Amino acid sequence: MENTTNQPQWDAKRLIQEYFKMARMIKSNQGEPFDDIVWSNQIRIKRIASALRAFIGMKEVEGNPVDLITSIFDSWDFNRLFENSPIQEADYAKMMALLKELMNDDCQYKSLMYMDDSCGEDSSQFKWSEYRDRHLMLYVLLEYRIVAERLISHFGGLLEGTIAVYLCVLAVKGSCIEPLKSGNEKIDDIIVLLLGDKFKKSFSEVELKANYGYPQETDDELFEWDVDNM
């Protein structure tokens, strides 16, 4: 058996971060022929679909990977995503701690907790409803991260410009984009917790190729194709 220890891994955080990079394209291609997507992005989308099948335990390959991804991530109730993937109490506590940390406003946090008569200042007593709060929280955070990813990638394809242009781009990156990236890492941690128990695993690319239809094409091949065709 091949040793997969040093192989590139897909954990839940990599899965969602790769999804955010492609989410706008995936959404815009719902209902359209998959072959209309440029080849390199077809491969990137197939990678996401393969990893997603591994997490939810589905070896059969659906016809259009866009359909699978949107059925999981672009949903109001996320029933297919949450099926048999509960959240443990310890993970819920981590999520609440991260939310409080990111708010950075104890007064506002406590005032929100006071709105629930059962808990007062003790957030651990908050009446968590997995069937209501979980899907609403995930919906809000996924929508935010898709928008944030668009902002982060803006000017990402800039190949040339004047010194003044580069000064402006670097100023925006230093003052806005880098802090945004740091906050997004914690938002992504919350999203991973919301995905539940099924997403606590990781899979090597070797496993994904063997069992879940992961594409054979390398990153170098995709880069070379993009350079030649975009």
pLDDT digits (tens, 9 = 90+) for 46-102: 999 999 999 999 887 768 999 999 999 988 789 888 888 999 989 988 998 898 888
Q: pLDDT at position 1, please?
A: 44
pLDDT for residue 168? 84
Full-model pTM: 0.86
Residue indicated by tokens 């907790």:
113
pLDDT at residue 145 tops 70: yes
pLDDT at 66: 94
* pLDDT, tens digit, 9 for 90 and up, residues 27-41: 999 889 999 999 999
Given a contact cutoff of 8 angstroms between Cβ atoms, the answer to whether 126 and 113 are in contact is yes
Pairwise CA distance, residues 25 & 85, whole Å: 27
Q: How much is the pLDDT for 117?
A: 54
Percent with pLDDT over 90 in the chain: 50
